[in-house]
């Protein structure tokens, strides 16, 4: 098997600049993920009250507990 030699120099300025850029992108992605989770949590009650829950629509594989529909007879 051939030996592969790396030409990456972790101490170089270019490496450090690329690393910092990638870490900044990862940080931005994490903040977008957190913003998405917060928006989803904020809309949770409105989503369920509108009858959009997968259990309300009869999807059996859904892990969200079923809630009675306001339009169903008593």
Angle at 33 between CA 43 and CA 60, to 5 degrees: 55
What are the extents of the domains in the chain? 13-58
Compute the distance between CA of residue 7 and CA of residue 9 in angstroms, rounded to an integer.
6
- What is the CB neighbour count within 10 angstroms for residue 58? 8
- For residue 62, pLDDT over 80 is answered with no
Do residues 67 and 56 make contact, with C-beta atoms less than 8 angstroms apart? yes
Residues 10-60 have pLDDT tens digits of 999 999 999 999 999 999 999 999 999 999 888 887 776 665 555 555 555
Half-sphere exposure of residue 21: CA atoms within 13 angstroms, side-chain side: 6
pLDDT band at 9 (very low <50, low <70, confident <90, very high): very high
């Amino acid at each position: 098997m051939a030996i592969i030699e790396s030409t990456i120099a972790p101490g170089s300025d270019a490496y450090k600049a690329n690393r910092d850029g990638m870490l900044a992108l990862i940080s931005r992605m994490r903040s977008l993920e957190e913003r998405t989770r917060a928006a989803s949590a904020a809309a949770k009650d409105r989503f369920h009250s509108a009858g959009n829950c997968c259990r309300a629509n009869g999807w059996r594989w859904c892990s969200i507990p079923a809630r009675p529909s306001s339009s169903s007879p008593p």
